[in-house]
Amino acid sequence: MVLALRAASVVAFLLLWEWAARVPISFNFPSPAATGAALLALVRSGAILTATLTSLQSLLLGFGAAVVVGVPLGLVMGVVRPVGRVARVYLDLLIALPTAALIPLVILSFGINVLSSAVIVFVFSAPFVTMNAYGGVRDVRPRLVEMARAFDASWLQLFARIVLPSAAPMVLAGIRYALSRAFVGLIIAELLLSPFGLGRLIMTSRSMFEHDRMFATVLWTLLLAGAALAALARLEARLLKWRP
């Protein structure tokens, strides 16, 4: 049933897309077939794979840093209440920050290289990792903590046996959400900052009115993001299989 529904939604989407291309809803709007052919050509020429490798460097660097910094920070914020109260304000501001407007400053501070895009990816994703980790700790059931304390659990035992497992679902959900934000940040950085990788491919195709190539690159980015999110969801399910 689920499979049939999924297939039906894909077919409906493709039909809608085909209709949009036949009307066409805008100049040179590519059909699904033209987009598919352009994607195939980009894969065969190696252009999209080279661009993907470049983009993945920024993504891994920025998103990796977001997880490495964001999760511990969120956990500390949740455990040490005063830190949480202070940091929460900054975190809220960071989430509301119009990051794209700061891109010229990022160039000047970090130089015109992959590091700049990684910084943008970090800023796009880190607040969500941190916020979820913080929320996860704050949502730990007080009764579990009381019970552990009643059994004379040490601080470390309390953290490792109660807090961390209870917060894990939210931490992992935060990482998954942050990954999708990281992809958005990556493309924005590559379009506005200094065109590298997939962003450069999109920009060049757009300038040349090769909309089929542009759509193909966007589609490829979506597939890439989809695959990464699915892999993360599997990892999440495996890590949390102890849950009822």
- Interaction site with another protein (CB under 8 A): 26-28, 103-104, 107-108, 111-112, 191-195, 200, 203-204, 206-210
Q: In 46-83, which positions are buried (b, 16+ CB within 10 angstroms) versus exposed (e)? A: eebeebbebbbbbbebbbebbbeebbebbbbbbbeeee
Nearer to another protein, 47 or 145 (CB): 47
Nearer to another protein, 21 or 129 (CB): 21
Nearer to another protein, 72 or 104 (CB): 104
Q: At CA 192, angle to CA 187 and CA 196, rounded to 5? A: 60
Nearer to another protein, 28 or 157 (CB): 28
Please, are residues 63 and 121 in contact by the beta-carbon 8 Å criterion? Answer: yes
Nearer to another protein, 57 or 204 (CB): 204
Straight-line distance from the first to the last Cα atom of the chain, in angstroms, rounded to the nearest whole number: 25
Please, are residues 175 and 135 in contact by the beta-carbon 8 Å criterion? Answer: no
Exposed, middle or buried by CB within 10 Å (0-12, 13-18, 19+), for 175?
buried
- Rounded Cα distance between 138 and 84, Å, is 10
